[in-house]
Amino acid sequence: MPGLEKTFIEKRKAHLMLKRTTLSGVGGIFIACLAMALILMDGWQQAAAQDTLALDGKIYYRAVRKIKNHYPGEIVEINVKNFQQVSQDEVLATYRITREQQQELQHEIDFTSIQKTKISIEEVMTEINKKEREKRSVTNLVNEGLASPMSGYDLAEDIQVLILKKKYLEEELAYLKRQQAREKDRISEELGGVSLASGIIPRVIPITTKLPGYVVKMGVIPTSKIEKNRVCFEVTKLSLILIRCKVYEEDYIKLSLGQKAVITSQGAPGKEYTAHLSRLPLRPTDKGYEALSYYLVDFIMPNPDLKFRAGNRVKVKVDLTSKVDPLAP
């Protein structure tokens, strides 16, 4: 019996050692597989990170038109408010110019030289008619043998000189009228398109916009005094907006015009918008010797619901693998 018990114990030990070795091998394989999986995941993450570029962006408006008054005055009435849609040639406000400015503009379109030239033409015509009558009288005397044929030559020369003078004055008058028309057109445009057909300069002037869009900034209030060429309103189209990002050299070289980007904003949680890279400046912005130079790149993004406003901050995720879209806005 003691021999059998010893044999059993030895077999039991051998079995336990075999089991432990097997478990150790399986555990090693599992750990090895886990390590490999982590390495692959890290590689995938690194690859994904290399395929995208995360940037911070700020929204700007595109093609903002600054609406100015051409003459000093005082605001009479404002017809619009911020972010109101306006059409081309719509009157945004009216203002009253000073009497001194009105008189100065009136003098500019009156062109007193036109009236003086007209009077000079009338005087020359009167002189021509007088000389013509004298010539006819001399001709009658010559025909009756009471005067020499040479008597009418001087009168004929005088008449020719007067005709040339009249022609010159008429050309001068036509030139002055063209000048007056140009001045009227210029002043009419500066007065917001007011018609000057009557020849009278009005005091109350409209402030109009030549660009349809939305009023995004107002620089005047009712009854406020305004100096010449003050920016009274800013108008732009909000259907497309500009997103500007700061990019350093190591990321700048990865970018190409037309690349797509996903835009997200805290103001629109859960929503993603698509933009395209529209501008890559050739030169960086230099902030001095101690600061790193950077590039200001622009993305164009549709703004169909008009929620985005200038100054809003957004997150920009550029897809570096996206194909360049030459038709991107």
Q: What is the pLDDT along the chain (329 residues), one digit of tens a residue?
A: 455 455 555 655 656 565 555 545 545 555 545 545 444 455 444 444 578 999 999 999 988 999 999 999 999 999 999 999 999 999 999 999 999 999 999 998 888 899 999 999 999 999 999 989 988 888 888 788 777 777 777 888 889 999 999 999 999 999 999 999 999 999 998 888 888 888 899 999 999 998 899 999 999 999 999 999 999 999 999 999 999 999 999 999 999 999 999 999 988 888 999 999 999 999 998 776 667 889 999 999 999 888 899 999 999 999 999 866 555 55
Which of 233, 258, 289 represents a domain boundary (last residue)?
233
Place of tokens 């200001």: 296
Per-residue DSSP letters for 272-300? Answer: -EEEEEEE--SSPBP--SSSPPBEEEEEE
Phi then psi for residue 111, to 5 deg, are: 50, 70
User: Do 176 and 307 reside in the same domain of the chain?
Assistant: no
User: Do 182 and 291 reside in the same domain of the chain?
Assistant: no
User: Do 73 and 191 reside in the same domain of the chain?
Assistant: yes
Q: Is residue 2 part of a domain?
A: no
pLDDT for 48: 44
Q: Is residue 251 part of a domain?
A: yes
User: Do 76 and 205 reside in the same domain of the chain?
Assistant: yes
Residue 191 exposure: Cα atoms within 13 Å on the Cβ side: 21
User: Do 218 and 200 reside in the same domain of the chain?
Assistant: yes
User: Do 99 and 167 reside in the same domain of the chain?
Assistant: yes
User: Do 183 and 84 reside in the same domain of the chain?
Assistant: yes
- pTM, full prediction: 0.65
Which of 204, 233, 262 represents a domain boundary (last residue)?
233
Which of 187, 217, 233 represents a domain boundary (last residue)?
233
Q: Would you tell me how many other CB atoms lie within 10 Å of the CB of residue 209?
A: 21
Range of the domain at 132: 65-233
Q: Is residue 11 part of a domain?
A: no
What is the total count of domains within the chain? 2
Adjacent-strand bridge partners of 246: 296
User: Do 176 and 218 reside in the same domain of the chain?
Assistant: yes
User: Do 212 and 242 reside in the same domain of the chain?
Assistant: no
User: Do 71 and 197 reside in the same domain of the chain?
Assistant: yes
Q: Is residue 13 part of a domain?
A: no
Q: Is residue 36 part of a domain?
A: no
User: Do 77 and 175 reside in the same domain of the chain?
Assistant: yes
User: Do 172 and 257 reside in the same domain of the chain?
Assistant: no
